[in-house]
Structure 1
Amino acid sequence: MKSAGIQEIAERAGVSMSTVSRALNHTGQISSQRAAEIFRIANELGYAPRTAGRTIAVILPESDIELRWYSINLLNAIRQEAAERGRPLEIVSSDQLHILDERSLAGMLSFDFGCQLAERVGRSNAVPLVCINDSARHIDQVYSVFSDEDQAMSLAVGHLAGFGHRRIGLILNGTLSDYSNNTRKTAFERELARFNLESREEFIVHPGDVRWKLHGSVRQLLDAGVTAVISTGESRSASVQNSLRYCGVKVPEEVSLIGWEMAEVSEYLDPPQTTIGQDFPALARCALNTLECRIGGGQVGKDTLVPCRLNERASVAMPPRN
């Protein structure tokens, strides 16, 4: 930054140069009104900080939604990938987007699960937006990078069918309004039909975040006679294994279990859990590749699918004979 530019802004705003510096670099305690005024004057004077045109906003779920295993792992992957590319990040919740009005941004990455951000932002914002594991809006040039949920469910159901399981239950982490859950449910039903496995409505549950509801959902699957369970969502996998134990069921002797990978946790559960793993570094890399293509004026043309992997451990076995 040129000190003369900061000095001119400070004189116009009637504040010290250090106050201007703190406002422009988002450091220190400055009122939102004072910061907005400094940004207004800086824009009028054509001031551009060193990071102008480089900063990317990362949009998280709404601030009242707790960040859990999935969000933390994805955010860490984005931070590491952005650092390697020399891209500064501005991290904000989806209900606080007004903060970005005072920022000079090159683009935005979102992993808000509300499935509405592409429509809300895409129609009104000239800054390129890429969504991760959330619906796109191609009419506004908003593209998405997804974990391949079809492939993930094919891996999980195929693995269990290979052990001889005919009745498989699915626990969805969240509601059916979630894009990923809709995709998983559709893929699960397709894979049951492909392997000619039994399919019943009570084989699919989505208990929400309340622990006793999870116990009830697990009991529903057991009462329906399933011999294997697929539990989606990184933050749910250990809880489902605990609920099976709570219901008096041994894994894998009585019921087999496939969860979603919790790095450095799933392999240390008792028994070590067979999982589907999302490739978080690849999600971040592909998302930033797509965003930088859009920033540079390039045409993307389609969404990106990132393959998942099956981590075989000890929580799957042949179903009991009875």
Structure 2
Amino acid sequence: MTTRRVSMADVAARAGVSGQTVSRVVNASPRVDPETRARIEAAMAELGYRPHRAARALRTGRTQTIGLVVSTLASVGNSRMLQAVADAAAARGYALTVVTLGAEGDVAAAFGRLVDQAVDGAIVLNEATERVREADLRAAGLQLVVVDSPRDDRFGVVETDHAGGAGQAVRHLLDLGHRTVHHLAGPAGSFAAAERERGWREALVQAGAAVPPVVRGDWTSASGSAAASALVDAGATAVFAANDQMSLGLLRAFADAGRAVPGDVSVVGFDDVADAADYRPPLTTVHQDFDALGSLAVAALVDGIEAGAAAAFVTVPTRLVVRASTAPPAR
């Protein structure tokens, strides 16, 4: 047995208004007084009314679908951002279409797929932003917001204060008495990795501490594990790793090498993933607010689509979460 879809007419009858008034509420028109709007919204909730997306697209010229462009979903940061964007989009009544750039990093092909699906705009994440900034996307004609990018007048930007968070990590370790802090950096070409490296370097210079050579990973725990031997050889007593996954690899490799954390070497990560408190030892890390990033990115994009709002530039602060992986150096 097929259940009939609740219509605008059903809502209008329940609320005691015209179908045109219900239509105005559905399409967010300001031409409805607050009391009537509340009565209509209550009727919608009571009846379980859901606007017909295709019909609304014909009326408004918008599909209420946004795209998400990402290089890969294999990293924890990108997968958490996907969840945050999906939740924020749903809260604004928008569907989400995800495209990945793939090994070739074909930006034009990725945006072509979004245009074919008639999205109203798109959010671009992290490593994909550099390729998007280099591409000429005027033909796509999409409203864009990028997460983690230098300021660019062509689109809105929402970024984490990566450099500030790195500075917090370095100052924490120096305040504990470490003479310097080694850095396990993220991949070259990543804006987030470059900003975290900049914050690390500037904090050391400001403190008058030596700046050791950078050891580079690729965000994975395996690359963190592989980097441990170079850090042991360098005599590191404190390491700031550019993300928590690489920190996890470091913890394992240091243990295998007989280097106690934090007795012999202190480790600070970045992201504050859900499992960071369950690492052994629990990881001191810089908390990145993925939910705020997703919400702000969606808000900036939807406001641009619906109200023609000016491109936003927003920086989301970070905070250091101190746990058991850091301590004063052994004397």
Same fold by TM-score, threshold 0.5 exceeded? yes
How many Å separate the matches in 2 of 1:134 and 1:234?
21
User: Is 2:322 the partner of 1:312?
Assistant: yes
Backbone CA RMSD of aligned residues = 2.6
Q: Is the 8 A contact 2:69 2:123 kept in 1?
A: yes
Q: What is the letter of the counterpart of residue 98 of structure 1?
A: G
User: Is 2:105 the partner of 1:92?
Assistant: no
Correspondence 1:75-86 to 2 at 5 A:
75-86=82-93
SS at match of 1:293: helix
Q: What is the letter of the counterpart of residue 255 of structure 1?
A: V
User: Is 2:86 the partner of 1:71?
Assistant: no
- The structural deviation recorded for 1:281 is 0.7
How many Å separate the matches in 2 of 1:239 and 1:192?
24
Unaligned 5+ segments in structure 2 are 1-56
Correspondence 1:1-322 to 2 at 5 A:
48=58, 52-61=62-71, 65=72, 67-94=74-101, 95=106, 96-114=110-128, 115-120=130-135, 122-138=137-153, 141-174=154-187, 176-201=188-213, 204-208=214-218, 214-295=224-305, 296-300=307-311, 303-321=313-331
Query: Structure 2 vs 1, CA of residues 289 and 210 (structure 1 numbering), >3 Å: closer, same or farther?
Result: closer
Q: What is the letter of the counterpart of residue 159 of structure 2?
A: F
SS at match of 2:58: coil
Paired residues, number: 269
TM-score by length of 2: 0.74
SS at match of 1:83: helix
SS at match of 2:87: helix
How many Å separate the matches in 1 of 2:97 and 2:246?
29
- The structural deviation recorded for 1:248 is 1.6
SS at match of 1:240: helix
Q: Is the 8 A contact 1:259 1:275 kept in 2?
A: yes
CA-to-aligned-CA distance 1:216-261 (integer Å, 9 cap, x gap): 5222222222210011124322112112112221000110010124
How many Å separate the matches in 2 of 1:210 and 1:119?
26
Unaligned 5+ segments in structure 1 are 1-46
Q: What is the letter of the counterpart of residue 194 of structure 2?
A: N
Q: What is the letter of the counterpart of residue 200 of structure 2?
A: F
Query: Structure 2 vs 1, CA of residues 279 and 209 (structure 1 numbering), >3 Å: closer, same or farther?
Result: closer
How many Å separate the matches in 1 of 2:222 and 2:66?
40
- The structural deviation recorded for 1:211 is 7.0
Query: Structure 2 vs 1, CA of residues 240 and 49 (structure 1 numbering), >3 Å: closer, same or farther?
Result: farther
